[in-house]
Amino acid sequence: MSRHSDALVLFGVTGDLAHKMIFPALYALAKRDLLDCPIVGVASRDWSLEDLRRHATDSIKNAGGVDDKDALQKLLANLSYVRGDYGDSDTYARTLLALGSSRHPIHYLAIPPSLFATVMQGLDTAGLSKNARVIVEKPFGRDLASAQELNRVAKGVFPEDSIFRIDHFLGKEAIMNILYFRFANSFLEPIWNRNYIARVQITLSETFGIDTRGAFYETAGCLRDVIENHLFQIAALLAMEPPAGRDFGEVNSEKSKVFKAMRPLKPEDLVRGQYEGYRSENDVAADSDTETFCAVRLFIDSWRWQGVPFFLRSGKRLATSGTEVLVEFKRPPQDLFADSASDDGRSNYLRFQLAPSSAIALAARVKCAGKEFVGEQQELFLSEEQLGQHSAYERLIGDAIAGDGALFAREDAIESAWAVVNPVLVNHHPVIPYKPGSWGPRESDTLIGTKHGWHNPSSKS
């Protein structure tokens, strides 16, 4: 059994990520008695410990309020603060002192990616990496070469099973339910292959724009920011073979095989769009070619999925915010009934609604009342949103502290995913403008190439 970490060192403790996501997650863990250890915050701001405690309290209040004062006080009492530059060895020496008797810390790098290597090397030099773990926020690299270099640095400091590459998307209950639904139900396996499935669609749409993230988005774009990580991870859960067990190594091995089987993208496999007005956003180039929308046609060259297209799509300033998966089945081999030959609707499908709420639905044709054998397609809801779910960050931080890496990306998976998109990161067609509030460039409909086109997520359950 993995040893629990006995301290948390949070680099970037004064930043937005810590304020918006991490402190509310730590408070939730404290309420469940899963976090009672020293928490050492490290940052460059000239703050006192009281400043940090106010920052943490404000974060928790903004995230939903304080409903357990004892848990909050325990969390605040465990806080300490180290001010320093990440390139200064003295910062790490004082962090070591702040850890006191703790010998198995976990270091959370909630900092810009450009500082990952600097901090990991600083931890190594100071002896802070011994018997320790590290959580690294995405993006883990920005292309194959940078991901390989970052992995080289990380593995030079920590063993692979102590490196937790965090993608908050994997901690969402609805995402985890894909894995459970696939392998907990025996009826699905016989039809979950190229013989019965025509195509798979995955859409993550957002109504908002880049807000104040212009400088970041200019270096990333939708393909790097969403497709290569979030949507590839969903595709891997849908396409993976049954793991030998629930052990995180087995699950990650099967996911990694999917990434390795993905066919590298070509320019004709993607449509890039940019919402009108993007170039007027702060910190955006006047002639920017950065995509705020991306649609991808992906093939997985495996025995199970050969020839089945996976269509992945994401974008900002679209018509609705939502995330859905549509697995479309092939039509029956014979037009037995009067309405079977009509092509006025989709064939049977399985739909995973992941956001804004969670649901699983199966679409099946049902006979209408009357003498004629005519029917209509209706959805059967199999699951709905459940109360009391843990937030993604709460789950993932708790898992990392416990040493459970099932929901984290592994080195080979990271690099294999980058290898798929690497050919089109630079070699691609120019962005196509689209109107805010639409579903992106019309050219994405041509990419999918079917009469019914894309399935658009609904804002309703």
Q: Catalogue the active-site residues.
A: 230
**CA distance to 200, 221, 450, per residue, from 329 (Å):** 9, 32, 13
165 with 277: CB under 8 angstroms? no
Alpha-carbon dihedral 60, 205, 270, 331, rounded to 10 degrees: 130
User: In this structure, how many other beta carbons lie within 10 angstroms of the beta carbon of residue 7?
Assistant: 22
Alpha-carbon dihedral 396, 397, 399, 403, rounded to 10 degrees: 130
User: In this structure, how many other beta carbons lie within 10 angstroms of the beta carbon of residue 375?
Assistant: 15
Q: In this structure, is the dihedral angle defined by the CA atoms of residues 223, 447, 233 and 428, taken in order, positive or negative?
A: negative
Residue 49, SS3 per DSSP: helix
CA 305/CA 239 separation, integer angstroms: 8
156 with 134: CB under 8 angstroms? no
Residue 454, SS3 per DSSP: coil
Helices and strands in the chain, H and E counts:
15, 15
CB-based contacts of 118, cutoff 8 Å, min separation 6: 86, 87
Look up residue 194 and give its two tokens. Answer: 């190229």
Residue 59, SS3 per DSSP: helix
In order, the DSSP letters of 342-388 are --SS---EEEEEEESS-EEEEEEEEEPSSSS--EEEEEEEEEE--TT
63 with 69: CB under 8 angstroms? no
Q: Which string of b and e fits 382-401 if b means at least 16 CB within 10 Å?
A: eeeeeeeebbbbbbbbbbbb
In single-letter form, the type of residue at position 60 comes to: I
